[in-house]
Structure 1
């Protein structure tokens, strides 16, 4: 695949297009950040929002929610339940935190389908060692639906935001390549179902180790927009740009590049760091059998530029293009 076709494919990818309306939807919510008695550290645009309870000095709390894609829930209720735990746990770990508890909102069109979702949730909770402590049931919905929310905690010295990348930082991608694509969902790179709970949590806790050493300037969990699209969201909210060497992105052998850049892995992180810390970070990931590379650099100009096979082309110009549309100092704390 040549670079021009790759750029067209990424721009047209539904995983990116589905993010376009975020900034328009949340516009009216920004005024609510002034209410309540907690101190909000970071809100919209982060994998999980970060807040501080004034009476608790040493820790921030993290909170996130993910709604499961309707096509996934309807096609495979068990997998949707399992994934709802995975994605929420990842939203906390990528902040350098640890998930504490989860709750769910489940709508069912028949009891059997509801039980299938719950069985997947139980498997996910067993795997990631996080309790599901409550929720809400719609027993007479006209279709199956699921959303899960997670509460986590992180030392205030260790929190990693996705809106704090700076020009000159190195771009790191760290992905667990020990997996396979799900047969039903072409971009879901499953790295957890074949692993033990201990193996999965050892990988997740890699972010805690890195956070405790304050080695990253920013990080974001690779999600539905794929690895390049997720990087684009990080650049948007940081108010910067980046140049990415596509050939340097960790990739399994035999997987077409076009498919891989759109994949959302069981564990995958896009991060930035000062050059002096990059070798140590790569070694920490590699010690946990996570493939990690330096694949680019942050630039001042608000553009995402791809380099591939000795060619260079613009993917996004954030002055006119958007993924989420969220902007530093306008939509974020």
Structure 2
């Protein structure tokens, strides 16, 4: 049986999990809360527009990653952005980038990765910023999209089931905690898999969730819990694992297709059936609870991973209800 106390302590101190605390610092400096325009804390900003929402997101990448894996960084600049839009129940429409490099030769591999991912996901790159006279390669990209029905980080409710939806048809490249499942995937499969998220939102099956990002299942669950002002219990024995993968590693893994979805128990079967029809792993790994703690459970043992009331994570919890006389 999993030693959940040791696992919780390991995850709470992991750099992939603690790195998300930077969001708190930035939001505080800009005086942003979850009620600010665009609702910071979500996977993309959602701005009301007619009968739907305009969506916008930005991703930046560590300089060492861009220097060591330029093609992969370029691909990821597209992939993680389209995932953010899908996580909101949206469809991506266009990308821009901001690229710095010492010369055109070094920039070429980054741009090749972006161009190939743009073609694979069917999202055009429509402009950006370029500087080929800097001392190191750097990369960021922004994306726009549109949603008819939103999946948000703010609408998980006690009693909801927590579903993990992941494409397991991938592998770890070396020691990295990235888990790409796109390297041999045909473009129509990549596009069809992402299209499931807006379809689930528009069918009224999913209203809350997040894409599994650099914090892995662990950090993503804490973000979802804090933004929704709830607790989450995760059954570690229910989490599907790739072959020969330790649970502690999988809990901080960044999959190329991975989402945590909060749904009513009566909708779980319909959601999992749609995902399984595309050979995506989908199953209930926990539940949303009252309170503020993200808890790991194995059998009768429990351990707190993070309590966002005691220690804010993103600093984007709902404002407390006003006191009444």
| TM-score w.r.t. length of structure 2 | 0.94
| d(CA) in 2 for partners of 1:71, 1:165 | 36
Deviations 1:156-177 (A, max 9, x none): xx11111111111111111111
- State the match for 1:204 in structure 2: 194
- State the match for 1:153 in structure 2: 146
Equivalent residue for 2:103, pick from 110, 128, 132: 110
SS of residue paired to 2:163 = strand
Shift of 1:123: 1.0
Is the contact made by 1:168 and 1:298 (CA closer than 8 Å) also made in structure 2? yes
Equivalent residue for 2:291, pick from 291, 294, 301: 301
Equivalent residue for 2:47, pick from 51, 71, 78: 51
Is the contact made by 1:175 and 1:250 (CA closer than 8 Å) also made in structure 2? no
| d(CA) in 2 for partners of 1:261, 1:291 | 15
| d(CA) in 1 for partners of 2:91, 2:81 | 11
Deviations 1:251-308 (A, max 9, x none): 2222111111111101000010111111111111111111111111111110011012
Is the contact made by 2:181 and 2:257 (CA closer than 8 Å) also made in structure 1? yes
| TM-score w.r.t. length of structure 1 | 0.91
Equivalent residue for 1:128, pick from 108, 114, 121: 121
SS of residue paired to 1:20 = helix
| d(CA) in 2 for partners of 1:10, 1:325 | 19
- State the match for 2:323 in structure 1: none
Matched, 1:186 2:182: no
Deviations 1:95-124 (A, max 9, x none): 111000000000112221111110110111
Matches within 5 A, 1:1-333: 2-30=3-31, 40=37, 42-53=38-49, 57-155=50-148, 158-183=149-174, 185-329=175-319
Shift of 1:28: 4.0
| Aligned-residue RMSD, C-alpha | 1.9
| d(CA) in 2 for partners of 1:77, 1:31 | 33
SS of residue paired to 2:144 = strand
| d(CA) in 2 for partners of 1:25, 1:171 | 29
Shift of 1:72: 1.2
| d(CA) in 2 for partners of 1:289, 1:219 | 20
| d(CA) in 2 for partners of 1:152, 1:237 | 22
Is the contact made by 2:67 and 2:137 (CA closer than 8 Å) also made in structure 1? yes
| d(CA) in 2 for partners of 1:164, 1:34 | 13
Shift of 1:31: 6.7
SS of residue paired to 1:82 = helix
Shift of 1:323: 2.8
Deviations 1:73-109 (A, max 9, x none): 0111111000100000000011111000000000112
